[in-house]
């Protein structure tokens, strides 16, 4: 039996605002090495790696003296591009997945279609402007950037919750678990692309 090709990728991106490199291994163990300069974002991306079992390495340098916006958004861009590159033509993947992710008093639903057609539905609100030092409005910016560049349809809905840390964390953990299932190779699918069109290029 032919061994599947490694589903790994590395992306580097440099602008006047940020310089970021990211690498992923979709068939990893959840190992991570994340350095964005934003403590809470590092924590969320570590959760994403650990619970998706995708190995993630990110090193980002950005204009944090201005604010966190460029670094947060561009990290989503680069990580999304790395996932898209690692997926290749998406042959054999499960494609669809969803999860209801609880954390104490909070419940968040996440649904993913690895479709090649990027779209984000974000039904999440926060009662505070910051979690740690990170602006809560930047979570949507990160998810939008990731979905757009990974080429996935992504729906995120916080059903209920009070603690803003928990709300943010369930969004990332929910993405992790749904993404893990959606990019999993389905042995019944074989080498086929899971679409009657024969392609998931968009």
Confidence of residue 196 (pLDDT cuts 50, 70, 90): very low
Mind listing the domains of the chain with CATH numbers?
8-183 (3.30.230.40)
What is the rounded CA–CA span in Å between residue 113 and residue 2? 27
Mean pLDDT of the region 97-108 = 98
* Vertex 175 angle, CA 174 and 177, to 5°: 65
Overall residue count recorded for the chain in this entry? 202
197 has pLDDT over 60 = no
Q: Are 93 and 183 in contact (CB under 8 A)?
A: yes
Q: Residue 166: enclosing H or E segment and its boundaries?
A: helix 164-183
Tell me which residue has tokens 């069109």: 197
193 has pLDDT over 70 = no
Tell me which residue has tokens 């279609």: 113
Q: Could you report the per-residue pLDDT of 14-73, keeping only the tens digit for each?
A: 999 999 999 999 999 999 999 999 999 999 999 999 999 999 999 999 999 999 999 999
Give pTM, 2 decimals: 0.93
Mean pLDDT of the region 147-175 = 98
- β-partners of residue 62 are 18
pLDDT for res 68:
96
What is the rounded CA–CA span in Å between residue 48 and residue 79? 11
pLDDT for res 1:
45
Mean pLDDT of the region 106-134 = 96
Q: Are 166 and 106 in contact (CB under 8 A)?
A: yes
Confidence of residue 198 (pLDDT cuts 50, 70, 90): low
């Amino acid at each position: 039996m032919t061994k599947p090709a490694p589903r790994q990728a590395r992306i580097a991106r440099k602008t006047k605002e940020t310089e970021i490199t990211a690498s992923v291994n979709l068939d990893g163990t959840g190992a991570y090495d994340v350095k964005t300069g934003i403590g809470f974002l590092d924590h969320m991306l570590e959760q994403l790696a650990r619970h998706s079992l995708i190995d993630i390495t990110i090193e980002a340098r950005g204009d944090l003296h201005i604010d966190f916006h460029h670094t947060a958004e561009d990290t989503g861009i680069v990580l999304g591009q790395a996932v898209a590159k690692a997926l290749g033509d998406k042959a054999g993947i499960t494609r669809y997945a969803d999860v209801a992710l609880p954390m104490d008093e909070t419940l968040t639903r996440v649904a993913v279609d690895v479709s090649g057609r990027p779209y984000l539905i974000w039904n999440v609100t926060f009662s505070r402007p910051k979690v740690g030092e990170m602006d809560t409005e930047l979570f949507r910016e990160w998810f939008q950037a990731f979905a757009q560049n990974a080429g996935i349809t992504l729906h995120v809905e916080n059903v209920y919750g009070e603690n803003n840390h928990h709300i943010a964390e369930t969004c990332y953990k929910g993405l992790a678990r749904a993404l893990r299932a959606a990019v999993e190779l389905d042995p019944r699918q074989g080498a086929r692309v899971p679409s009657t069109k024969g392609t998931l290029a968009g």
